[in-house]
Structure 1
Amino acid sequence: MAEQYQSREERRKQLEKQKQSNKKKGKKPAKGLFMKIFLILVALGITGIVVGAATFAYMIKDTPELDETLLKDPISSQVFDMNGEPFTEIGSVKRDYVNYEDIPETVRDAFIATEDSRFFEHNGIDLIRLGGAVIANVTDGFGSEGASTITQQVVKNSFLTHEKTLSRKAQEAWLSFQLEQKYTKEEIFEIYVNKNWMGSGGHGVATAAKTYYGKSLDQLTLDEAALLAGLPQSPANYDPFKYPENAKKRRDIVLSLMNQHGYISEEEKVDAQSVDVSAALVPEDQRETNGEIAYDSFVGQVIKEIEEKYPDLDPFSEGLKIYTTLDTSAQDYVEQILDGNEIVEFPDEKFQAGITLLDTKTGAIRALGGGRNQTQTFGFNYATDPRRQPGSTIKPVLDYGPAIEYLNWGTYQTLVDEPYTYSSGQEINNWDNKHMGSMTMRTALALSRNIPALKAMQEVGLDKSKEFGAKLGIPVSELTESYSIGGLGGADKGVSSLQMAGAYSAFGNNGFYTEPYSVVTIELRDGTKLDLKPETEVVMKDYTAFMITDMLKDVLTYGTGSRARVDGLAVAGKTGTTNYPTAERDKYGIPKGAVPDSWFVGYTTNYTAAVWTGYDDRTQNWLTSDEQKISQYIFKNLMTHVSQGKETADFAVPSSVEKVRIEKGTFPAKLASEYTPNDQVIIEYAVKGSAPKQVSNKYDKPAAPSNLKVTLDEATKELLVTWEYSGDNAEGVQFQLYGSLNDGGEQLLKTTTEKQVRLKAETPGYYTFKVIAVRDTQLSEAVTTTIEVLIPQEEEEQEVEEEETENEEGTDEETTETGETGGNSNNGNTGTGTGNGNTGTGTGNTGNTSNQGSGNN
């Protein structure tokens, strides 16, 4: 057993030695594999470097040369009108240049902290900043975050386009490296602060300091230097003249960055952030312009669109060719209206107006009137800058348009103008504080009734109303019921004429909306073309667009906008005024009937125009009843001018719409019947398949009376005629009773609402009676009955003797008969009588209830 155990133990040890030996042998292949992998990686690295270098060389092969003239001076851009003709240049303006040694330390620190905190440490490219940007671009998409140094920004603004491509970034890096080799950091910084566009402040930090603050650079405070340093990122949006709130937010960010990088203390940051941005700005009436620019109200919109869509492009320094939608003839006429009194007479110099003219089909801006008697280039634009509440011009957008779109209302939809409140219980009134009762949606819109408009919004629902408005370029943050009549509040402080024109153009373009635009294409210096024309979208059904349009045409025919009517032109449009709250009216002594704003928005198939009028200070100046019409006069003259010599088609009826005959006064609306009088029928439009189904029976042929009976009362010799009536609609029904005796003519005996009549029956014979039901002008079928009346013989003989005696007396020459009645009708006898020079003749037919006679003197 011991031997067996020993032999087993030896075998175990021998096996373990063999395993260890195998492991040692296996390590040699592992070392060989590692070496192979290492060599492959080295080869790949070398290949990558070569390929990368080749790729980089390829991408920078077309890099432009460093041109000192392009580094120093901005290149003006040309602006072209709708026909491709140049009409102005922007960027060729006076500039105050400042040398590096004259730039105060505070100004330098503000720019470096904001734009490139490691400016004096890198060689044109900040690899640390670039690493962070690369990660952001991988996770969020290429172009999501930039890593441009001040050097790169100088290169980009001087030589390259602003497209975010790898090729352009490679060229930018190569040129930045070259620039750092050729120029000192101080020279590069000097180029940068003198070249930047600074919004209304012009080019360069020195020019901006003078324009915004009326100071030289060495006089700027910390908060002012920070504001200027924040402008280059987006000069239009952070312009303190136009957008002080945006400018403050940007300034405070710059101050935080200065504190973060150690340039200022926490206390200095807080103190500077507390300063009012507008306090030190040059007063508006003392501001200098940076050169005259033709049609600056329009060009200002051009610049805004470029900066919104291509924020890296600077139209003032990059030598762009900007092709726009401007109609110079229309623009000239708009400026002629606003700057004089020949076309439209204004009450005073403070009266302001904003005008937008669009191409209805394309949304292209043809002209903009930014205000009256403006002296500041790119000053406040009353046409494009949101400012005032829209009043009743909002009703097609938020009330009736959604009701047609989502509820399939027709133009006949009946609404009741009556005392009413908002859902909150607050009372709502019409502009005239009156109520007109039941009316169609068409009438309510034409006469601008507020209560029907609110009811329409309530019916369709606030969410749908908000959705519809947003699709037409009128987004609101939180829609309330007061918005139904244009009472925008909260964050929605108002709308611009540009927005209103855009919304209405969709009604005139069969439901297609294009965001209003002024720039078609931009051509860069290298020939690259950028398309800025927005996409056209379907925002409503064609029947909604048509029915709103057809109703708005009535605004100019019998509604509130008759002064805007252009003879011979199919025009649709809407008036709008806003009101003063009672507290404001009482506080400032504003007279009753005065309003702060007056609008008119309208369109043809060719053009859409929106006009706002009012005053800057609504508490000191207001519009009287006559001045409220000026917006209509402006619209009328402008639309007349631009439509001359152009064919203007009427608005086509789409196949989704059908005409319906509605009976006036029906509530809810009912179809007119074949018996409805023409003067009680109105022709309206319905969404095909959604027209009213019920036909009015108000004017239908009435049902015929029934159970007509005649009975004789022997004692009184009276006939009692009775009948019954059970028509479906007995309201307003009267009855006509006709009678005849024997073969005599039929006579109308009585018209009554009763269903019985008593008549004398003194003459024997056959009495025939007929009854007809009558409602207005409609007659029922007739029902008839006959009765024979008999009189005893002795009574007949006595009647004959009495008649003979009467006839003998009638021939006496000494009679005092006047002859005014020529004869009596009895039993078929005829008689004549004379007396006192008067003669009379008479004929009588048995049973005839009327006498005929003549008398001569």
Structure 2
Amino acid sequence: MKWFKRFLALCCLLAIVGALGLVGLYYKIAPELPDVDSLKTVQLQTPMRVFSADGKLISQFGEKRRIPVRYDEVPQTLIDAILATEDARFFEHKGIDPIGIVRAAFVLVTTGRKAQGASTITMQVARNFFLTREKTYIRKVKEIFIALEIERLLDKEEILELYLNRSFLGNRSYGVGAAAQVYYGKDINQLTLAQMAMIAGLPQAPSAANPIRNPERAKNRRNVVLGRMMAVGAISQDEFNSASAAAITAKYHGAEIELYAPHLAEMARDQLVAQYGEEAAYTQGFNVYLTVDSTTQIQAEKAVLDNLFAYDMRHGYRGPEALLWQPASADTDATVVAADNDPWPEQQIVAHLKTVNTHRELLAAVITQVDEKTAIAMVADGSSIELSWDGIKWARAFISDTRQGRAPKVAADVLATGMQVWLRQQDDQWMLAQIPQASNAFVAIDPFDGAIQALIGGYDFGQSQYNRITQAKRQLGSNIKPFLYSAALNNGFTLASLVNNAPITKWDRSQGTAWRPRNSPDVYTGPTRVRQGLAQSINVMAVRTIRQIGIDTFIDHLAKFGFERNELPRNESLSLGSASATPLENVRGFATFKNGGFLIEPYFIERIEGRNEIILEMAQPQIACRECEQALANQSQQTDNAAAPLLQQCLWPQELLAPRVISEQNAFLIRQTMQSVIWGGGDWAKGTGWNGTAWRAARLLQRRDIGGKTGTTNDAGDTWFSGYAPGIVATSWMGFDNHGRKLGRTSWNANAPQNQITNAESGAKSAGPAWNHFMASYLVDIPKEHSEIPQGIVTARIDMATGKLSNRNDDSSMFEYFMEGTAPTELIETVQPEDPVFEQEQELF
């Protein structure tokens, strides 16, 4: 009994000493302990995500992939799996599990190894947020003290939610929400029992034992988790048997991109990094919503790609990417991969194709059989695709940008076994294809506030990140002519003014040469009205117009539309488009004509949201608003009380009104001439009809509420089409990134459709089809728009040959629009007119 009392006293003494030691240790390391209160307001690092206006994911940026989830969003089965594996008594202890500590201590004493850490989930949260993973005694002591403080501040569900969202689970995934997406491409509530057990087993060795890097080790760990779940009664024996027998289905899933718009995503990334800094942009969980609607973007993407491939096909086939084996009949410059002539077995072909980098929708394939007018191609999954003659017959040989070979007559003229080629689906048919070498760009904006509706900065972002919409300064060609004639209308010209369409020779003494601008086609018709001169893009008329108004006058006018003065050459070539601008700058200028004369500022971010969908920024674009402008003008002329009802018509504050840069009447008249670019003029039935340069748009779209302008530089180095339709303005560009390479010309292809494009490339043929086909899709459900004639515009019947007033009602005359006070006053005939010469509400079309 005496010894027992002594033993009890010793135990008490040791307990007191131990407690005092713990207290002393606590006070010793207390200054080193972090402020656990920060967990109440912790902000988990989450990536930036970029969405379309209708909520489609475009891209995700950030080193850590995390999809935060609330505790009540996590399936109970997944919670059971994690608790059974990591901390079965989590809801019973106060942050420290004495049983686990004793077990870990016993293992240490008996084996000498720190095989078990005895860490509870709370202690793991303490380590994940505040400490390192090094196995030292002092770290473990700190972990214990921090865990106790966490349990004092937070309830169990809050602690477990932090653990579920913070834990690293391999392959850049942090938290169970991200792991479900990375390994299975699912939300957590869609996972099977086996998949939940797999994720629950990852914290032990997330890099070395995840199911992608080491499937066998991950499977063993998963089955351990399932065994522990069965041991604690979370699952039955049958559930264990089924889940433990399940195959490993995990594979890497990137961010679930729903809309391909990488150039827009990169623009958003650049802006947020510049605005918030790189670290904040990638970790603060910004959700960036763009102005682009997914439907409009997809329509533009299809139109641009179809047009790019159409250009590439009419210029000929450049041959296969490589020859995997060399058949005796093959005659090609393609790289020969194999040294012998023996065909490769299927397994070798498939293994090779899996190493080939993809390019957008192009599918790598190997020709395995060639018949008279068909061929068989094997793809990377081992399946075979039959190419019909319709998918092959276009492929006459490419000789140069201006020459093509003869149309093939049989498949063997194009293909041979062993060729590695590209295939593309078009209209539910597989086509032989090739990676385009030409470049393209397309941008569409809302002309009244500048919101970008669609943007394609190039063919393949993986191939080139160069954004041709915002970075490529290209010569405008005849796309500049609407701006030239807009300046002319402010300086004494009308749409009926005659300008001599005759050859020009200007001697340059300093160079000892003559400048001879030429029309395309090289036809000269003498005095011609301005409307027709713009619609048919007559070059010599443009040169004579800039001579009349002056180069400086034109430069000043161009600056009003936002063009940079340092990109505007001070010579007469400016009238033919020697100035350089990006497609975005160009479409902004064209928007001014559509919106009635206001200069808007293009923008692409509609709003930025932070955590919990809190709106951090909302776009406040300047609006082109004629009603507001009129209300403000009336206010300045009346007392405040009298003007108040007028101002109520305007929904926008004055600082959000776009500035007017040209008159409403000027913008209206240029819109009218751009309609003639598409619809031409005269009467074909009476022999007076003529085409504008964009007549293909009229044939396809069959709408009178559209207008635009083609643009082509020397030898088609740059080709453009810019134009408007109800609620939208768009610019299409095509050319080569190499400024010295031209788009060339094509000859007639006997295997192509009757409506094929031939001869020299141009704005109408190269860039125009993308605009036309985009509008064909975009305008399907858009009502036709009536052209409203603004105040200050009158119509007069004129003689088409002279531009003078006419009293005839035959095919020699037409109605034309004029600003008040600028209509002609001289009659071509002295006969009294049968109808009024001037009419206020008569429309031309």
TM-score using structure 2 length: 0.46
TM-score using structure 1 length: 0.45
